[in-house]
Amino acid sequence: MPEIEIGIGKSGRRAYGFDDIAIVPSRRTRDPEDVSIGWEIDAYRFELPLLASAMDGVVSPRTAIEIGRLGGLGVLNLEGLWTRYDDPEPILEEIAGLDDTTATKRMQELYAEPIREELIRARIAEIKAAGVVTAASLTPQRTVQFYKTVLESGVDLFVIQGTVVSAEHVSTRAEPLNLKRFIADLDVPVIVGGCATYQAALHLMRTGAAGLLVGVGPGQACTTRGVLGVGVPMATAIADAAGARRDYLDESGGRYVHVIADGGMRTGGDIAKAIACGADAVMIGSPLARAVESPGRGYHWGMATFHPDLPRGARVRTGVAGTLKEILVGPAPVNDGSMNLFGALRTSMATTGYSNLKEFQKVEVMVAPSLQTEGKSLQRGQGIGMGSARG
């Protein structure tokens, strides 16, 4: 892809977000009932290509169980309130009632409570006892400290997740986590991320990960792009990672690593575009934070919101829209695409004539900025096609 001159001495690729592209209809349509949106990773099959974000306002043991029963996978944040407090409900109630001006400072205090290994065991056991696939998340910084407890608790899928996760971390102060050696020693499939470029995706695939989270800076509750200036629009990030998956498939002699789009998806159309760009599944947070059952009580915040030194997230008010079932599979009482997300994906696939997710990854897309995106770009004098970010 040709680079665009930003100024003398600096050029860059043009990148695209979901608002900058559209899915193109084909010569065939299909009955939605004949469309499969199921996917598999390792030994596990899910009827919905969904991972619920490991964020405290979205996934509790109770919502992880409900999401599992609906056909998706809830990922529990093992560095969150559920592993710091015996009963986090009063804490969640307090967070929902905080004033915007004091929320971040108070959340830093609440999350200073130490993580307790017995609570890690208890929360994982609670989800497993319900008979659904159990997934839990740690950051790379905490992985070595707690992974044995996580594995002994019987987790089915282990997620190593940070704002940016690399296969090569350089430090003069501490021995970094060697992902390739670490993953090779585990008996459970590992999902790692986030990343946002072809080269980073390819390197992470070489670690032996079963899946890759793709997305840096796009989510509603994340301010990484604003605070650090780091981020890549999602359509381009997913397509680049899908290209790395294709090349790694050849390089490895047939090993397929799943690409999971993480963040920046608010509607069924966004999810459909993520799959169309090459994702095998999606990880979403803010749409699920709007569920009646979600622990955030109409609020959503990211894993870096409460960082003690440099918070990179915001507590976002999402409101409450409906049940988890209505948000995921309908029926939808609104026409803005924010509910029945996976019914919309199924209909998008049927409209373009594709019967499963792997086929739908081949659908034609075109650069077609929405009127809203075009208007904003022209107003800012930035041209068109730079995509969206988390704030």
Query: Annotated catalytic sites, by residue?
Result: 222, 317
**Where on the phi/psi map is residue 6: left (φ > 0), alpha (ψ -120 to 50), or beta?**
alpha
Degrees to nearest 5, angle at CA 305 with 302 and 308: 145
Contact 326, 333 (CB under 8 A): yes
For the beta carbon of residue 12, count every other beta carbon within 10 angstroms. Answer: 9
Contact 193, 204 (CB under 8 A): yes
Q: What share of the chain is helix, strand, coil (3-state, %, to 5)?
A: 35, 15, 45
Compute the distance between CA of residue 249 and CA of residue 178 in angstroms, rounded to an integer. 22
Contact 281, 245 (CB under 8 A): no
Compute the distance between CA of residue 326 and CA of residue 344 in angstroms, rounded to an integer. 12
Compute the distance between CA of residue 70 and CA of residue 64 in angstroms, rounded to an integer. 10
Amino acid residing at 97? G
Contact 314, 301 (CB under 8 A): yes
